[in-house]
Amino acid sequence: MKTKILFLFFLMTAVVLSVNAQELAQNSNSLIIGAYRSYKDVDDFFIQVPTAVEIPFANEFIERLDFAVLDVTTNSFEPYFFIKETTSNKIPVSVKTNPVVYNTGSMIDDKMNTNTDFLLPEDTQGRIQIILTSVKPITSSVLTTLLADNVALPSTIEIRALVGGQNRIIVANKKMDQPTIRFPQTVSGQWTITFSFGQPLRISELRLLQENMVTTRKRAIRFLAQPEHTYRIYFNPDRSVIASVGEAGNLLGLEDKEIILLFSGSSQNNPNYIIADVDKDGVADSHDNCVSISNPEQQDINNNGRGDKCDDFDHDGLINSRDNCPNQPNRNQLDTDSDGIGDVCDTEESRITEQHKWIPWVGISFAALVLIIFFILTAKSIRKPEQTIDQ
C-alpha cells in the first residue's frame, strides 16, 4: 500500500513539474516572440528526411540582423545560419562629432554590440552634431539610427547636407519618433546630423543608405527542417533577444544540391509584438523620458526632456526619485528620524518618536489603560450597595 502511495506521489509531482516546465517555456517563448516586429511563414514544402532549407531575405528592409526560427509544430526555436554575401562598391565614410566624443567609429562599424556614448548634461538637454564625410558623393534618402538596448530616441533631429557649396537643410529640426528617417533624395559628400536628447544617448549604428552603390547581395536564413513540420521566422526586433536552441548541424559547407531554396510568403506584422518597455510603465523605451524608472505620467515640469523622476533638481548627484530631499542639496542624505525626509528639508522633526515608532503606541496603550481603570472605579463608586432583608 505504501509503495502505491509513494508511486502516486512521485507521479503527481512529475506531472506538476512537467506542467510548470511547459508554462515556463511558453512564457519564455512569448517574451522572445514579443520582441520581433515581423515574421514570415514557411509551411509550403514537402520533405521526407531532415533537410537544409534556405529562405531569402534579399528585399526586406531590416534594421537589425537578428532572427528567431520557430518550429511551430513543437513550439521550440531552431538554430539557424544567416547567410550574407555582398559584393559592392560601398563608399567609405568617416565620422566626427561636435563636441568631440570618444569612440565615434563604433557608429559606423556594422556591429550592434558596440556603441558610442553621448553624455547627458546635468541641467539641460544634450546636443550633438555628427558629421559623416565620404570620399565621393553619396546619393541617399534614408537615415537609420540604431540604439543600444533600453535607450530612448533623441528628442529631436535635424539633417543638413553640403550641396553645391551650401549647407542645406534636408530635414528641418523636428521631433524624432522613429529610428528610420526618410527625406527627399539628396547627393552630398558631407552630412551633418544634429540630435538633442534628454536621456543618455548610446548609438550602436548610424546608417546612411547609399542608393548609388552598385551591389550584388544575398541574404538568407538557412536551417534544418524536419518532415511534416511548419516554421515561422521572426525578424526585425527592436531590442537584443536570444532564443534558446539545440545543437546546430554544419549547414554552411553544403553544396547547392543539398539545400532546398524556399520562397516564403510576404512579410507580416507580428500581432504578438510588444514594444520594449523596461520599466513597465506603459511608455515605450524609445519615447520614455525616464527609461529605467516607472513614470507613466511622464511629468517634466522644467521641459528639459528628462522626466522629473530621473531629473536632479538640486544638483546634488542624486536623481529626484532617490533623493530624500529633492529640492535642497544633501549628498549625505542624513535622515536622523528615519521618516524618509532628509533633515535639511524636514520641517516637523520629531526624532525620538519617528526613529522609535513604538513609543507613541506605548503612550496610547498606557492612556487607554488609565481610562479603562478610571471607568471601572467610577462604575464601582456609583453602584448602590445591596441590602439584605432578614426574615
Between CA 192 and CA 206 the distance in angstroms is 12
Between CA 16 and CA 38 the distance in angstroms is 35
* Buried-exposed string 40-54: b where 16+ CB fall within 10 A, e elsewhere: bebeebeeeeeebbb
* Residues 78 and 224 reside in one and the same domain: yes
CB–CB of 129/206 below 8 Å? no
* Residues 207 and 141 reside in one and the same domain: yes
* Residues 125 and 137 reside in one and the same domain: yes
* Residues 75 and 60 reside in one and the same domain: yes
- DSSP string computed for 91-118: PPEEEEEES--TTGGGGGSS-TT--EEE
252 in any annotated domain: yes
Between CA 180 and CA 174 the distance in angstroms is 13
When divided into structural domains, the chain yields a total of 2
* Residues 100 and 133 reside in one and the same domain: yes
* Residues 102 and 197 reside in one and the same domain: yes
- DSSP string computed for 209-277: --TT--EEEEEEEEEEE-TT--EEEEEEESS-----B-PPP--SS--GGGEEE------EE-TT-----
* Residues 260 and 194 reside in one and the same domain: no
pLDDT at 187: 97
CB–CB of 218/83 below 8 Å? yes
Between CA 134 and CA 325 the distance in angstroms is 51
CB–CB of 342/333 below 8 Å? yes
pLDDT at 107: 96
360 in any annotated domain: no
Residue of 132, 101, 129, 130 whose CA lies nearest to 117: 101
* Residues 129 and 179 reside in one and the same domain: yes
pLDDT at 360: 65
CB–CB of 42/53 below 8 Å? yes
pLDDT at 12: 55
Between CA 387 and CA 76 the distance in angstroms is 93
Q: What is the pLDDT along the chain (391 residues), one digit of tens a residue?
A: 556 555 555 555 544 444 444 454 566 788 899 999 999 999 888 999 999 999 998 878 888 888 999 999 999 999 999 988 776 788 999 999 999 998 999 999 988 889 999 998 877 889 999 999 999 999 999 999 999 998 999 999 999 999 999 999 999 999 999 999 999 999 999 999 999 999 899 999 999 999 998 776 788 999 999 999 999 999 999 888 888 998 988 888 788 888 999 877 789 999 999 999 999 999 999 899 999 899 999 999 988 889 999 999 988 889 999 999 999 999 999 988 888 898 898 876 555 555 556 666 776 777 778 788 877 777 777 765 554 444 4
* Residues 248 and 142 reside in one and the same domain: no
* Residues 118 and 207 reside in one and the same domain: yes
* Residues 112 and 196 reside in one and the same domain: yes
Which of 188, 213, 238 delimits the end of a domain? 213
Between CA 237 and CA 35 the distance in angstroms is 5
Residues 6 or more apart whose CB falls under 8 angstroms from that of 335 comprise 324, 341, 342, 343, 346
Distances (CA, A) of 138 to 90, 141, 163, 179: 10, 10, 11, 20
pLDDT at 33: 96
Look-up: residue for cell 542624486? 318
Q: Which H or E run contains 136?
A: strand 126-147
* Residues 70 and 136 reside in one and the same domain: no
Residue of 92, 194, 164, 187 whose CA lies nearest to 134: 92
124 in any annotated domain: yes
CB–CB of 191/131 below 8 Å? yes
Residue of 256, 218, 253 whose CA lies nearest to 86: 218
- As a whole number of Å, the CA-based R_g of the chain is 33
Between CA 100 and CA 129 the distance in angstroms is 9
- Type of residue found at 17: L
Domain containing residue 226: 26-86+216-269
- DSSP string computed for 20-73: HHHHHHHHHHHHHHTTEEEEEEE-----SS-EEEEEE-SSS--SS--EEEEETT
Residue of 47, 83, 50, 60 whose CA lies nearest to 221: 83
